[in-house]
């Protein structure tokens, strides 16, 4: 599931898991994700949106507690699952193969009614502003490696995308059959 996620995004999710375990939470929620995003000062989300300044309590909390040993797996809340899905859609919308931390912020804002989105919007950040900032900084993205060839067409992300791809292939086959019958 996380093959398209950049290393900073994967670390942010790891830090979100750690924050949830340290808080004794049975699952990772959107505020844990914000806490994870604040940890790497050089990540694109922190450079663009200055998350540690917006959430100083979350940025300080994870460092203040010693490492804990928790269970290996922890559930993700439904709103956090939607955030991850929205994150991939936002990266696709911008034609980015790599899902970076700034896409995670866009996914949070797009969820809208989760605690993290409400707090982000309370600091004055809207989805439209965030998209504009990410679009303007597209040239500054880190190089995480080459995207696989034909990554976009090979991964229709929705059922309608899969249906459209199948219809397109069927139409090409029918057109080829029609052309070859006419030629004979």
Query: What global pTM score does this model have?
Result: 0.76
Q: Which of 108, 91, 2, 114 is nearest to 49 (CA)?
A: 108
Residue 147 belongs to some domain of the structure: no
Residue 2 belongs to some domain of the structure: no
Give the Å distances, CA to CA, from 161 to 18, 154, 156, 158, 167: 35, 10, 5, 5, 10
Q: Are residues 44 and 97 in the same domain?
A: yes
Residue 122 belongs to some domain of the structure: yes
Q: Which of 25, 23, 30 is nearest to 13 (CA)?
A: 30
Residue 146 belongs to some domain of the structure: no
Tell me what the mean pLDDT of segment 13-39 comes to: 92
Lowest mean pLDDT among 7-21, 94-108, 163-177: 163-177
The answer to whether residues 46 and 37 touch, using CB atoms and an 8 Å cutoff, is yes
Q: Is the pLDDT of residue 20 over 60?
A: yes
Distance between CA atoms of residues 126 and 109, nearest Å: 7
For the stretch 78-132, pLDDT in tens is: 999 999 999 999 998 988 889 999 999 999 999 999 999 999 999 999 999 999 9
CA dihedral 114, 50, 34, 117 (to 10 degrees): 0
Residue 182: other Cβ atoms inside 10 A: 7
Q: What is the CATH number of the domain that holds 45?
A: 1.10.1780.10
Q: What are 149's two structure tokens?
A: 């060839």
Is the model more confident about 145 or about 112?
112
Tell me what the mean pLDDT of segment 136-144 comes to: 71
Residue 20 belongs to some domain of the structure: yes
Q: What is the pLDDT of residue 137?
A: 83
- Number of structural domains (the chain) is 2
Q: 33 falls in which pLDDT band (50, 70, 90)?
A: very high
Tell me what the mean pLDDT of segment 173-179 comes to: 88
Q: Which of 35, 48, 15 is nearest to 125 (CA)?
A: 48
Give the Å distances, CA to CA, from 34 to 65, 75, 114, 170, 176: 17, 17, 11, 44, 52
The answer to whether residues 64 and 38 touch, using CB atoms and an 8 Å cutoff, is no
Q: Are residues 91 and 160 in the same domain?
A: no
Q: Are residues 46 and 109 in the same domain?
A: yes
Q: Are residues 76 and 127 in the same domain?
A: yes
Q: Are residues 136 and 161 in the same domain?
A: no
Domain extent at residue 45: 7-140
Q: What is the pLDDT of residue 131?
A: 94
Q: Are residues 39 and 96 in the same domain?
A: yes
Q: Are residues 88 and 110 in the same domain?
A: yes
Q: What is the pLDDT of residue 65?
A: 47
Give the Å distances, CA to CA, from 79 to 25, 63, 116, 122: 15, 26, 10, 19
């Amino acid at each position: 599931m996380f093959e398209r996620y950049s290393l900073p995004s994967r670390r942010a999710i790891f830090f979100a898991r750690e924050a949830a375990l340290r808080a004794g939470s049975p699952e990772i929620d959107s505020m844990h994700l914000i806490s994870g995003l604040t940890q790497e000062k050089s990540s694109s989300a922190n450079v663009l949106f200055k998350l540690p300044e917006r959430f100083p309590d979350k940025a300080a909390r994870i460092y203040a507690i010693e490492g804990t040993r928790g269970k290996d797996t922890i559930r993700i809340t439904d709103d956090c699952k939607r955030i991850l899905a929205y994150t991939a859609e936002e990266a696709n919308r911008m034609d980015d193969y790599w899902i970076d931390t700034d896409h995670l912020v866009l996914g949070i804002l797009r969820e809208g009614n989760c605690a993290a989105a409400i707090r982000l919007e309370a600091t004055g950040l809207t989805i439209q502003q965030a998209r504009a900032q990410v679009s303007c900084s597209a040239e500054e993205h880190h190089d995480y490696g080459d995207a696989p060839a034909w990554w976009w067409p090979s991964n229709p992300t929705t059922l309608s995308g899969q249906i459209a791809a199948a219809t397109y292939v069927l139409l090409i086959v029918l057109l080829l059959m029609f052309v070859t019958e006419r030629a004979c």
